[in-house]
Amino acid sequence: MLRDKCAVVTGSTSGIGLGVAQALAAQGAAVMLNGFGEPSQIEAMRRALSERYDVPVAFHGADLATSDGPSELIAAAHEALGSVDILVNNAGIQHVAPVEDFPIERWNAIIALNLSAVFLGMRAAIPHMRRRGWGRIINIASAHGLVASVHKVAYVAAKHGVLGATKVAALELANSGVTVNAICPGWVLTPLVEAQIAARAEANGTSSLIESEALLSEKQPMLSFTRPDAIGALAQYLCSNDAATMTGAALPIDGGWTAQ
C-alpha cells in the first residue's frame, strides 16, 4: 500500500513511535527513524526493520526540542529517502508535578518537544507534500489533548495545542491531497508510562503491578493497555486511500477514557 512512500516517524527508537514505524514499513514505506538511545541498539533496530520488510530505513538523531532539529530531520529524510510523504510527529516527554511546583525548565522542555516540534516538523514537511500532491501528517496527541489530569500542566497544555495545530493545518491543506489528523491514545505500556508506574510504586511503597492496575482503573473503563502496534494499525489506516477525506480529526484510542 505504501511501497513508493517515505515516512518520517519522530521518537521511533522506542514505544509508540517504533510501533508506528514497524506498521508503516510493513506496508512497504521507506522509513526515517529518529530518537535517542544507545547507537549500537539503534543500528540493530534500523537494520532489523529494513531486513524484515525489505524497505530502506535510515536514522537521524536530531534533537527535536531545538528550533533547528525538526527541519534538519525533514531535510535529512528527503536527502536519504528521496521524499517526505508521511510525517508522524510522535516524540514526547512527560513530567508530573503540581502547577505551583512545576519546574520552569520542564515546562519549556515539554512545550518545545511535545508542541513546538510538531509545528516545526509540519512547517518543514508540508512544502514537500504539496509539491507531490499527496501527504499524510499524523500527530500523536493523547487523551490529554481532550481532557486534563492533575499534575500534568505542561503535557496537557501541549497536547491540547497539538489538536489545535492539527486542525489549522488540516484546513490549510484541504484539497491539496494532504491530510492532517491526530491520534489520542489512552494508556499505552511504553517506557514513558513505565517510568510513571515505577515512580508511583516507589512513592506509595507498592509494586508496579498494583500501580499499573491503579493507573488504568483511575482513567480507563477498559482495564487494559493499548499496544503500540494497535496505534501503528490506526496510522496505517490514516495513510490509506480510504482515509483520503478524513482530516482535522482527533481520534481517541483510549479504552473509553474520554467517553466519560
Single residue of 90, 116, 179, 247 touching ligand NAD by CB under 6 A: 90
59 lies in the site for ligand NAD, by CB under 6 A: no
| Nearest by Cα to 137 from 124, 150, 155 | 124
Strand partners, 88: 9, 138
Single residue of 7, 13, 169, 215 touching ligand NAD by CB under 6 A: 13
Report, in Å, the least distance between residue 183 CB and ligand NAD. Answer: 8
**Helix axes of 69-81 and 117-132: crossing angle, nearest 10 degrees:** 30
Task: Say how many residues touch ligand NAD, by CB under 6 A.
Answer: 30
Contact region for ligand NAD (CB under 6 A) — 45-53, 57-65, 203-211, 216-224? 57-65
34 lies in the site for ligand NAD, by CB under 6 A: yes
Burial class (CB in 10 A: 0-12, 13-18, 19+), 35: buried
Catalytic residues: 155
234 lies in the site for ligand NAD, by CB under 6 A: no
Place of cell 529518529: 34
Per-residue binder mask for ligand NAD (CB under 6 A), 160-199, x = binder: -------------------------x-xx-xxxx------
Single residue of 65, 77, 115, 250 touching ligand NAD by CB under 6 A: 65
Single residue of 58, 113, 182, 216 touching ligand NAD by CB under 6 A: 113
142 lies in the site for ligand NAD, by CB under 6 A: yes
Q: Are 138 and 89 in contact (CB under 8 A)?
A: yes
C-alpha cell at 16: 509508540
Q: How far apart (Å, rounded) are the C-alpha atoms in residues 46 and 181?
A: 26
Report, in Å, the least distance between residue 4 CB and ligand NAD. Answer: 26
166/190 with CB nearer ligand NAD? 190
Beta-carbon contacts of 63 under 8 Å, excluding residues fewer than 6 positions away, are 69
From start to end of the chain, where are the E strands?
A: 6-9, 30-34, 57-60, 86-89, 135-140, 178-185, 250-253
Dihedral class, residue 107 (left if φ above 0, else alpha if ψ from -120 to 50, else beta): alpha
Single residue of 7, 17, 22, 247 touching ligand NAD by CB under 6 A: 17
Binding site for ligand NAD (CB under 6 A): 10-17, 34-37, 63-65, 90-93, 113-114, 140, 142, 185, 187-188, 190-193
